[in-house]
Chains A and B, each alone.
Chain A
């Protein structure tokens, strides 16, 4: 077209893409005296510390504390002793899971009947049964799960991942969170805190909102579309070019020019990626899109796959309302119905595209639930023992790692804290959690603070 575009492609090869020179002012904070960092795009893919098993993460966040004893932590003793007094708990009776567990796959992993579709992937699942948190309160535990700390405002796991690895597609945000929770810390759960803002998560929609209507802010102009807007943008860029000519050298200006081109590409790329109409009916059906129960989470899972495919580094999905103090039977069943098929479809889909091997899928909530009950049909918070699972991305499937006691109250074997979970996730991404540091306020911070253990058993 015009000279502008040749300039643009020149820029593209010359420099760096999304957020080019985002850091003119950041060099000081990031790494004192390390001025050569200034001219690189902080979001370009970076070499991990060691060869990575996983290139990206999809975190399926089940907000509210999903019951482990009804899903992934099979407790025969709980069935046997159902109705008896719970140990060390007055007025509380053990209650067996209303759902049956069966063994699945060659590995024979026990999974409850709540997840019939997911159970077909048993041999890919690494059930982590020895999770242990600190505080059985949603807000603290939710922040701990996302940032490693509820005492201090700290960067989220996604932000650390992006900081450590950059991202592969410069037309898209490197860290996307779909339908994020607005309470219990809200944006802090995908924030960047003292890390540069460029690493924070981009939110699409919010929790309990239909994803179909959700958008990234300012992604569309209702007045000027397509070519008309392009002309307007050309005017902006011509003025910017004039200024650049006058200035001769200005990395800042080149950064602005580039950011517009990227924005323009992003505003096309994101809605396109979010529009699932180019998927086959077979795929849509597999994810449960169009079915009332599974539509919303099915769309989230499908989008997760599309974002993963497009090169997004860290993707989080949120499904809320796992806090069954009452109506366990009905409500837990409804949640599982809404998520089982979509998650299973996601695993199938990743696998058939050859992406499961380098995509780490993590499922979990901020804690689990008590095997004993106060009232009938409801379980309370239990942070002392609960379950998460991982699949793909170099995890060893078909196994249980760690264990709770006979009833599922306390983790007793291979106990894993969120720091351990984070350390292990970073490890899969090729990052040493003790080396991924950021200098702030005079000291070097880590996601795992002074804690964290890479749990080797999880790794294939």
Chain B
């Protein structure tokens, strides 16, 4: 079965141009009178009548890039290939189309059988055709022209610009920013105060608010290096990787299920998540990080870490119920090309799957060159073959040391013993119940309480059945456990059969036309050497090296821009995932190149780059309003102030848990999804999986199509697509979450419990209000705020007592306080970081 897989590219319609008349080879063909007659009588009238309305140079809109009104045109064909190949019925798409084999032309009604056979005869006789005329030619990709686009150009390194106000900049970054501001006659606003800066740094670097104690420590630190010390401390904390790893997980569409119409879980995806977190914590050089994710398995004697890294290619959404193996494979390959080229290089290569890229210089042939690399790769994502899943796969077996192996065997034995114990218990229960039932039945006739007994017997019978079913279930489970090999498994890839990929016309696997030798894109040559791919390996290693090559102008720019995006809220290039011609130009191109260059010189160190950015004066500005600046640059594209940021979904939930004292900062082992098997959703709901989950939000289970509410409501990255730039929306459902959700109520109660009950807590209401403010908003309340708060609590308490006679005064007090804390959580101040 063939599925159309072309994707739409509207926009530029100038792809096709009329070529001038040219003398063609065909002109030299001598046509016999008989051939001419046949064409004029049988072929031309049909073409004119049935085809020209859409396929002539005079048509209003030419469909499929195909015109049929000249010999050259009909032979050149359109976007899908040659319409007519003289003498070759099988390769003539026109014949295929009028037979309704692939395309169905003319679309309204099929031509009569006799006409179809005339056309076949005509092609067989060599498609004699007297018609001179232009052909539509495809725009040949002009690489020289294409290369002029800024992001394909090599980095331009120059000295930092000079500025008028020399005392202001603290670093080169500041010089670039200030130069631009000065050229627009704008002035940066004053620096942020220390409290604001601390809260900003905590959220930006580790995604958590400072506790009141942490904040006080920083404020009391009068040394000139206090800010830098705090930055170092935050970059070194294990919470850093949890924050920044999650940014990366957005880009690589991390999730723990395949997420399509049948949704099967990926119980081992979390290993990749943990790998990413660890990589950011250990400040793994970003080029190594890239190499490992694309080709970690091809390293010499790969470590478990390197094997797990390739999970990057395996965790994507998949149409597991696809019956056509080749179609499944090509979709998988497409997804891998897409995530690889966009994540690392901001290039939308997969646009070229069905036709040459309409905007960037990427021909379809090169798409299939790259496809060959992934086609020669086996993707190991697990899942079991069962109804709804026709495309299961094995997993990567990790190397397990002896102790761990022993441990795993013991765990397995323990589970088996446990199941055996349960089976025995159920058997015993059955035999007891059978005895009981027997004795009841034997008494039945004598006893007066016949009715009662009858019911009791029925109940027993039901209980016995239940136990029997349970035994069946347990036996099944036992079998499964027994089959499990005591090894640790991960998602990932390995090399498969190495071969080149066919070029599929319009991306349809039913239309292969020739093959494309495995390789990479021309666009970045020749500055960057095209590697020679061996037949022994898929070519992923070479692909990775090509991406991280310091001559590759895209990679360092893209990652530096991603880092900038998370520190400043908006990228220097706002379209962080698209550096092609449809993306935006950088606001500060020279600064971007400067940073990209430094990044590589610093050994691709993410932490150094972050430190550079946050130590800049630009970052440390206040978020103050400034009327003239605002008038000139309301979007703050020139960085005259620090733009306030809505904290993202994870930080929001984590901050609530920090305030309530309920956050479990230690990472969990594995994921709630690890315990699941098969298809998601029939019995399990995410609500059950995360009940009492108090770890950081990065560890919440991410099931495609069932993302936890607290994340989804606040613009969590859609896990089926690559998201480098989460949107920020402000919608009423978020307000309802703060007003009414169980989660916020529970956490408010928890904070109040600490306020009211804890021994060493504050002893009066003023103190309590102050602690609540500090816990939630990282600041002390003003006197007015204290008064307002205590008034509110008092009034609330009175009304609750009056309104509800089912609660005691004590409970009313707790509720009133909780209502106050909940209001603090609900404020815009809590949600935004200045």
- Chain A residues within 8 Å of B, Cβ to Cβ: 18-26, 28-29, 32-33, 35, 38, 134-135, 137, 139-140, 142-143, 150-153, 182-188, 191, 193-194, 196-198, 202, 217-221, 223-225, 227-229, 231-233, 235-236, 238-240, 243, 247-250, 252-253, 255-260, 262-264, 266-267, 434, 437, 439, 441-446, 449-451
Contacts and interface: CB of A to CB of B under 8 A. Distances in A.
Interface of B: 1, 3-11, 259-263, 317, 319, 321, 331, 342, 348, 351, 358-360, 388, 570, 574-575, 577-578, 580, 582-584, 623, 625, 630, 634-635, 644, 646, 681-682, 705-706, 709, 712, 715, 718, 720-722, 725-741, 745, 785, 788, 792, 795-796, 799-800, 803, 815, 819-820, 822-824, 826-829, 831-832
Contacts of A150: 260-261, 319
Contacts of A217: 709, 733, 736, 741
A25 B351 CA distance: 25
B729 A443 contact: no
Contacts of A240: 827-829
Contacts of A238: 788
Nearest to A262: B732
Q: With a 10 A CB-CB cut-off, give which of B630, B646, B730 has the most chain A CB atoms.
A: B730
A249 B630 contact: yes
A29 to B, nearest CB: 7
Contacts of A24: 728, 730
Contact of A442 (B583, B734, B745, B832): B583
A137 B575 contact: no
A224 B722 CA distance: 40
A437 to B, nearest CB: 6
Contact of A183 (B342, B630, B682, B729): B682
Contacts of A225: 803
B290 to A, nearest CB: 20
B3 A185 contact: no
In the A-B complex, list the 6 residue pairs whose CB atoms are closest, starting with the nearest.
Answer: A139-B261, A263-B735, A263-B732, A25-B728, A255-B730, A256-B828
Contacts of B796: 228, 231-232
Given A232-B792, A260-B735, 17 more contacts: A21-B730, A24-B728, A28-B584, A135-B1, A140-B321, A151-B331, A153-B718, A185-B261, A186-B706, A229-B739, A236-B826, A243-B827, A252-B646, A434-B10, A441-B722, A445-B7, A449-B8
B753 to A, nearest CB: 15
Contacts of B4: 451
Given A139-B388, A187-B705, A231 B582 contact: no
B10 A243 contact: no
Contacts of A266: 732, 736
A450 B6 contact: yes
A252 B832 CA distance: 9
B195 to A, nearest CB: 14
Where chain B touches its partner, the secondary structure class is loop
Nearest to B11: A444
Contacts of A32: 574-575, 584
A439 B9 CA distance: 10
Contacts of A220: 740
Nearest to A20: B730
A241 to B, nearest CB: 10
Contacts of B745: 221, 223
B792 A235 contact: yes
A402 to B, nearest CB: 13
A444 B9 contact: yes
A236 B827 contact: yes
Nearest to A39: B634
Contacts of A152: 7
B387 to A, nearest CB: 11
Nearest to A435: B10
A185 to B, nearest CB: 4
Contacts of B1: 135
A240 B827 CA distance: 6
Contacts of B575: 28-29, 32, 442
Given A227-B799, A449-B8, A186 B736 contact: no
Contacts of B351: 441-443
A217 B722 CA distance: 27
B335 to A, nearest CB: 9
Contact of A25 (B5, B580, B725, B831): B725
A218 B826 CA distance: 14
Q: With a 10 A CB-CB cut-off, give which of A137, A194, A197, A250 has the most chain B CB atoms.
A: A197
Nearest to B709: A217
B729 A22 contact: yes
B509 to A, nearest CB: 12
A76 B514 CA distance: 50
B621 to A, nearest CB: 15
B80 to A, nearest CB: 12
A26 B715 CA distance: 11
Contact of A218 (B574, B712, B722, B733): B733
A255 B8 CA distance: 35
Contacts of B646: 252
Contact of A443 (B358, B709, B725, B829): B358
B709 A221 contact: no
B105 to A, nearest CB: 14
A444 B9 CA distance: 6
Contact of B731 (A22, A139, A188): A22
B319 A151 contact: yes
A442 B9 CA distance: 9
Contacts of B570: 25, 28
B705 A224 contact: no
Nearest to A439: B582
Contacts of B360: 442
Nearest to A196: B727
Contact of B3 (A134, A142, A451): A134
Contacts of A193: 718, 720-721
Contact of A243 (B7, B725, B729, B828): B828
A185 B260 contact: yes
Contacts of A151: 3, 5, 319, 331
A32 B637 CA distance: 14
Contacts of B735: 256, 259-260, 262-264
B506 to A, nearest CB: 10
Contacts of A228: 796, 799-800, 803, 819
B822 A218 contact: no
B823 to A, nearest CB: 5
B513 to A, nearest CB: 20
30 contacts: A18-B731, A22-B730, A25-B727, A33-B584, A135-B3, A139-B260, A143-B261, A152-B7, A184-B262, A188-B261, A197-B729, A197-B731, A217-B736, A218-B741, A228-B799, A228-B803, A232-B823, A233-B739, A236-B738, A247-B623, A252-B646, A255-B730, A259-B732, A267-B736, A267-B740, A434-B10, A441-B351, A441-B721, A442-B359, A443-B582
Nearest to B820: A235
Contacts of B803: 225, 228
Contacts of B580: 442
Given A151-B3, A236-B826, A252-B730, A218 B737 contact: yes
A36 B77 CA distance: 44
A227 to B, nearest CB: 7
Q: With a 10 A CB-CB cut-off, give which of B580, B736, B799 has the most chain A CB atoms.
A: B736
Contacts of A257: 828
Nearest to A30: B727
A248 B738 CA distance: 25
A131 to B, nearest CB: 16
B739 A28 contact: no
Contacts of A219: 736, 740
A221 B740 contact: yes
Given A249-B630, A443-B358, A450-B8, A153 B721 contact: yes
Contacts of B828: 239-240, 243, 252-253, 256-257
B342 A263 contact: no
Q: With a 10 A CB-CB cut-off, give which of A28, A184, A225 has the most chain B CB atoms.
A: A28
